[in-house]
Structure 1
Amino acid sequence: MSAATLARLPRQVPYIIGNEACERFSFYGMRNILVQFLISSVILAYIPEADREGAAKDIFHSFVIGVYFFPLLGGWLSDRFFGKYDTVLWFSLVYCAGHACLALFEDNRQGFYTGLFLIALGSGGIKPLVVSFVGDQFTQANKSLAKVVFDFFYWTINFGSFFASLLMPLFLRELGPSIAFGIPGVLMFIATLVFWMGRRQYVRVPPSRGEDPDSFYNVARTALLSHAPGQGRPGLVVAVAGVVLAAAMLLAWGLHAWAGLAVPFWPAGFHFVITACLVLGALIACGGIGVSMQLERARGRHDAAAVDSVRAVLRIIIVFALTTPFWSLFDQKASTWVIQGRDMAVPHHSWWWPSWLVREAAQMQALNPLLVMLLIPFNNMVLYPALRRLGYEPTALRRMGWGIAFSGIAWIVAGLIQLQIDSGAVTSLAWQALPYTLLTFGEVLVSATALEFAYSQAKGSMKGVIMAFWYLASTFGSLWVLLTNVAVRNDAVTARIATTGWSENAFLMFFFAAFAFAAALAFALYARRYPMQDNYRPAG
């Protein structure tokens, strides 16, 4: 980046990037030691030792679901009431309180779970806003710099994540959980302070406060409720069917959880988190389909640009939905891959292995942010220009589709490693570097690209909410993991897996790889007809 380019960057951007670097250290610092801590902690002492790994995975992915669910709340509060700056600041304080609970209650189940909830609430609440807040600092006049900043923003996220992933497992091992969970809390306080220091320089796009007659909600409601001469309201029927389905799922869960009644069509393993995600999915899917079916009825009652904007948002949600299998694979690097690494041999005897630093399997997660920091400049300066010279334009959607496919390749390699472990052979932890590299390449293609894509596709007051829908993709990614965990606890499924000759872990790794390949194909087919948008603020 040249000095001239740096001079034209908005001067408030470094405060946001500094905040994000500290916040990401804070988040990944606690997240990347969570499974490792839970397996051996008194928190899960009431569970038989053989079942603790599975329970730790369930807790981890339930936490991830919360982290990526609460962006809906943060985006709604920001767009409707408080604006991005105030919402980020207040949720950051909740975030700090959550870290304090983890440090103070590392041996108390209720206190520890309260801390996880507060971190999920605080982290999720600010998640859709910080990225879009960066975008708000740009106009049409300097939007060419936005891609550079979005990439650098993502690079900075991984800078914080790298040191957290590398050091926190050592701190947990050497200093104990109270200090290990306390350090991320201190970093989160610093992140909040840095963000507050830039308060006088930020561009603050005012919230809609619910006064926009052409908001997404108002246009969607008009479309669903409007009559057309000689036509029924099939879209409304679909939307109401989604509400009925959601109510039925909640009732089934309630009858089982509270009354102890067995509901034939509702698996006993579908706890509240799974049920809530399925309810949300039914409401979004049926509501979106219903609005799409009758959207043209809103023309004339709302501005044409607003109706087109709602249509664009519905298309974006489909793109996001098709990335959920990627997140089901990606987030398991902090659960399934850490557990796999515990059964592998750390190659301390090898001259090239940094035994003075890397002592735990959980530290392999540091490869992910390190590779991100290397791959982003490599892609931008080497790979993408080379592809353009060959006549292939690496558009945002093409990059995302290939990223999903590379995640599937990574899990095939992880599955082959698991087969080696299952055979009884001593397997070096260093072999995990290969799937980490493939998965990280996929992440750069999907996630770094999506930061730019999601902001540019959303109009005006919808930016915070559409970013929340992007992060919600991770919620449903972890939902697929929880659903799979429930399925493999079924005797019939377990027996079926046994007929393959593979262990349960190996079978699931190949299953998730196939899931990713199917999603990549569907994504490519949809991306071919997706109309790209350009929604940066006008200059001046």
Structure 2
Amino acid sequence: MQQDLQTQDKAFFGHPKPLKSLFFTELWERFSYYGIRPLLILYMAAMVTNGGLGLDRPTAAAIVGLFAGSMYLMTVLGGWIADNWLGQARSVWYGSIIIAFGHLSIALTAIFSSFFFYFGLVLIVIGSGLFKTCISVMVGTLYSAKDSRRDAGFSIFYMGINLGSFIAPLITGLLIQNNGWHLGFGIGGIGMLIALIVFRFIAVPQLKEFNRLRGENDSWSTAVVENKKAPKIALAFCTIVGLVVTLTALGIIQINPVAVVTYLTVSICIGIIVYFAYLLLFMNLNRHEKFQIVICFILLIAAALFWSAFEQKPTSFNLFALDYTDRQVLGFEIPAVWFQSVNAMFIIIFAPVAAWLWVKLAKKNKDPDYISKFIIALLLAAAGFLLMSFASTSVMHGNGQLASPWWLIGSLLLLTLGELCLSPVGLSTMTKLAPTVIRGQIMGLWFTASALGNLMAGLIGGQVHADSIDNLPTLFMRCVIALVIGAIVLFLLKAPIKKLMTNTNSTDVTKTNMETV
């Protein structure tokens, strides 16, 4: 039995065997998501005569932002349902089924009304809320708290995400070019079905066997704390969502996506401020912990600013590729959505390089602190949008000549490098700074930064029009200015933050020692 455990414990590149099936589950789930996401704005903004919905671009971009932002917000409720009712495994299973039905609903738009398109998006959001956090938790159960392979295991798992997001646009881009929109949407549904099958019939049995060999219970199969109210809360939420969808479909209520995104963005900003104020005033934290909370708040705002730029890939960048980019190569027209694979390709290439660089600098005591890395991320994003401003200027003065695709690729490279400076560093920093008693809450707030960024990106991205090239240099330059201002503010706060943290930490240590004496 011990020999079997050792074999399974190193069966997948020196990692537990179940990591392989969880890797492929996540790969195909991300394939389904990134397969349809870049199609959304192109489909909604396309003329009805071209098979689209004929929406104006600001509305289409707002819906994309609302779709992605709601997905991050739903992870909070999805994680709560998993902890209090379903458990991790059933949440992933039911989430997969709901996502698959969402893709099916979108595919039915070709036969029935556009109602099925929007209903499908709602189902994908709900299903992803259950799926997204739970499968990551299950990866964590493969390792003990002191297992040195844990970070490397999550890095391998992260590669599954990026492989899925790299492959999906390449396939869906070809399908919609030659066969129409709905086959492109349909292939995402097939990806989700593969994820569902891999998880249910391969991952779960492997997890059970792995736990049996190491003599542990399947903690991921049951709720952490059984809450009898959880099913009623989940049912009430689904009822409200179903009622809103039905009333909207019947035309009884009218929803303006741009207004919804605007109000939701403002509401989230107010909610974040109020919640941080609550943590500072009512959680009985010491001075050092309060300063840690303040730093978390500052970094969260900086992250939201970064994501508002980064998440314009499926909106403004996607539309720029469609309208203003020369996509002809040796007589072949590159599908616009192929550019959505560039970020994932760069992540796969440069993530190991970034990890190696941080380790090497740390050994020499030259590793930049987390605030410096955030500043670098904002400046890299600003440089990426500066390239886009130059690209749009070249089109404006080019007498009808389209921009080189290298402008987009260069901008996406800079944004990717910024992502590598901010995203993993941000996750690590939040777990270090957040006081233990509220660490889960701070991580939930961190993910709201991604939701906020997606919503803001949806509002910005819809301003790209085929007949409004004159506005684009200014639009992209405003993003540059906002990102640079954010970097400057962080730079100015860097020294005071370090000083305050050092002083309060010293004071708290002295106080503790005196109380001990």
TM-score by length of 2: 0.75
> Is the 1:396–1:453 Cα contact (8 Å) retained in structure 2?
yes
Alpha-carbon separation, structure 2, partners of 1:378 and 1:36: 34
- What aligned pairs does 1:381-460 form with structure 2 within 5 A after superposition? 381=356, 383-388=357-362, 391-395=365-369, 398-425=372-399, 426=401, 427-453=403-429
Distance 2:138 2:49 in 1: 38
Matched, 1:283 2:271: yes
Question: Which amino acid letter does the alignment assign opposite residue 347 of structure 2?
Answer: V
Q: 1:55 aligns with which of 34, 56, 59?
A: 59
Say whether the 8 Å CA contact 1:23–1:187 is kept in structure 2.
yes
Q: Structure 2 CA distance, aligned partners of 1:111 and 1:259?
A: 17
Structure 1 residue 22 and structure 2 residue 38: aligned? no
Q: Which runs of 5 or more residues in structure 2 are unaligned?
A: 1-8, 212-217, 228-250, 503-517
Partner SS, residue 32 of structure 1: helix
Is it true that 1:177 corresponds to 2:155 in the alignment? no
Distance 1:464 1:85 in 2: 20
Check 1:270–1:54 CA distance in 2 against 1; reply closer, same or farther (3 A cut). closer
Deviations 1:401-437 (Å, cap 9, x if unpaired)? 4223211211111111111112234222232111011
Amino acid at match of 1:434: G
| 1:204 pairs with one of 212, 216, 219 | 219
SS for the counterpart of 2:324 is: coil
Name the residue aligned to 1:368. 343
Instruction: Give me the TM-score of the superposition, normalised by structure 1.
Output: 0.72
The answer for the alignment partner of 2:18 in structure 1 is 12
Indicate conservation of the 8 Å contact 1:79/1:462, yes or no.
no
Aligned to 2:39: 33
1:156 deviates by 1.8
Residue 105, structure 1, aligned to residue 114, structure 2: no
Report if the CA contact (8 A) 2:58-2:459 is conserved: no
- Aligned match of 1:515 in 479, 482, 502? 482
Write the distance in 2 (CA, Å) between the matches of 1:94 and 1:311. 42
Letter in 2 for 1:420: S
Asked if residue 64 in structure 1 is aligned to residue 68 in structure 2, the reply is yes
**Letter paired with 2:130:** G
Q: SS at 2:283's partner residue?
A: helix
Please, which runs of 5 or more residues in structure 1 have no aligned partner? 212-256, 261-267, 300-306, 490-500, 532-540
Match of 1:132 in 2: 137
- Whether contact under 8 Å (1:324, 1:476) holds in the other structure is yes
Q: What amino acid sits opposite 1:514 in the alignment?
A: I
Query: Superposed, which structure 2 residues align to 1:229-244 within 5 Å?
Result: none
How far the C-alpha of 1:442 sits from its partner, in A, is 1.1
What one-letter code is carried by the residue in structure 1 that aligns with 2:384? A
Out of 452, 456, 461, the position equivalent to 1:480 is 456
Q: Do the aligned partners of 2:265 and 2:455 also contact (CA within 8 Å) in 1?
A: yes
Cα deviation for residue 159 of structure 1 reads 0.7
CA contact (8 A) 1:455 1:463 kept: yes
- Matched length: 448
Contact 1:418 1:505 in 2 (8 A): yes
Kindly tell me: are residues 389 and 373 of structure 1, through their superposed partners in 2, closer, same or farther at Cα, counting changes over 3 Å? same
Letter paired with 1:152? I
Structure 1, 170-179 or 36-45: larger mean CA deviation: 36-45
- Per-residue CA shift, 1:482-528, capped at 9, x if unaligned? 55579x89xxxxxxxxxxx9932221211112222233344553674
1 CA distance for matches of 2:426 and 2:92? 21
Contact 1:128-1:467 at 8 Å conserved across structures: no
Rounded to whole Å, the distance in 2 between the matches of 1:530 and 1:422 is: 49
Q: Return the letter of the residue paired with 1:334.
A: P
Matched, 1:151 2:155: yes
Residue 316 of structure 2: aligned partner: 336
2:485 and 2:387 mapped to 1: Cα distance? Answer: 17
Q: Which residue of 2 aligns with 1:167?
A: 171
Which AA in structure 2 matches 1:360?
P
Query: Structure 2 residue aligned with 1:119, among 113, 118, 124?
Result: 124
- Where is the helix percentage greater, Structure 1 or Structure 2? 2
Conserved? CA contact 2:12–2:20, under 8 Å = no
Matched residue type, 2:26: E
1:235-274 paired onto structure 2 within 5 Å: 271-274=259-262
Match of 2:193 among 171, 189, 192: 189
What is aligned with 2:89?
A: 85
Matched residue type, 1:511: R
Indicate the SS of the match to 1:137.
coil
Q: Name the CA shift for 1:135/1:273 in 2 (closer, same or farther; >3 Å).
A: same
Which residue does 2:510 correspond to in 1?
none
The whole-number CA distance in structure 1 between the counterparts of 2:365 and 2:117 is 54
Q: Counterpart amino acid of 2:37?
A: R
The amino acid across from 2:318 in the alignment is: V
The Cα shift of 1:338 comes to: 1.3
Q: Distance in 1 between matches of 2:490 and 2:82?
A: 30
How far the C-alpha of 1:4 sits from its partner, in A, is 7.3
**Cα pair 1:414 1:432 within 8 Å, conserved:** yes
What is the CA-CA distance between 1:46 and the residue it aligns to? Answer: 10
Identity fraction in percent = 23
1:293-318 deviation line (CA, Å, top 9, x unaligned): 2322x89xxxxxxx999997776455
**Shift in CA distance, 376/94, structure 1 to aligned 2, threshold 3 Å:** same
Candidates 463, 467, 471, aligned match of 1:504? 471
Structure 1 position 321 matched with structure 2 position 301: yes
Q: Distance in 2 between matches of 1:283 and 1:127?
A: 23
Residues 385 and 162 from structure 1, CA distance in 2 versus in 1: closer, same or farther, beyond 3 angstroms?
Answer: same
Tell me if the contact between 1:72 and 1:465 (Cα under 8 Å) persists in the aligned partners: no
CA contact (8 A) 1:22 1:188 kept: yes
Structure 1 partner of 2:445? 469
* Alignment correspondent of 1:379: 354
Find the aligned partners of 1:324 and 1:85 in 2 and give their Cα distance. 31
Query: Following the alignment from structure 1 to structure 2, what is the Cα–Cα distance between the partners of residues 474 and 183?
Result: 26
Which residue type is aligned with residue 478 of structure 2?
F
Among 96, 102, 113, which residue is 2:100 paired with?
Answer: 96
SS state of the match for residue 505, structure 1? helix
Question: Displacement of 1:68 after TM fit?
Answer: 1.7
In 1, Cα distance between equivalents of 2:67 and 2:309: 16
Aligned-pair CA distance for 1:469: 2.9
Task: State the Cα distance separating 1:360 from its structure 2 match.
Answer: 1.8
Deviations 1:266-294 (A, max 9, x none): xx996234323423432332132033123
Alpha-carbon distance between aligned partners in 2 of 1:457 and 1:78, rounded to the nearest angstrom: 26
Secondary structure of the structure 2 residue equivalent to 1:98: helix
Deviation, 1:99, is 0.6
- Tell me if the contact between 1:347 and 1:430 (Cα under 8 Å) persists in the aligned partners: no
Report the CA distance shift for 1:286/1:516 in structure 2 as closer, same or farther (over 3 A): same
Distance in structure 2 (CA, Å) of the matches to 1:259 and 1:33: 27
Look up the equivalent residue of 1:123 and give its one-letter code: S
8 Å Cα contact 1:76-1:465 kept in structure 2:
no
- The code of the aligned residue for 1:509 comes to F
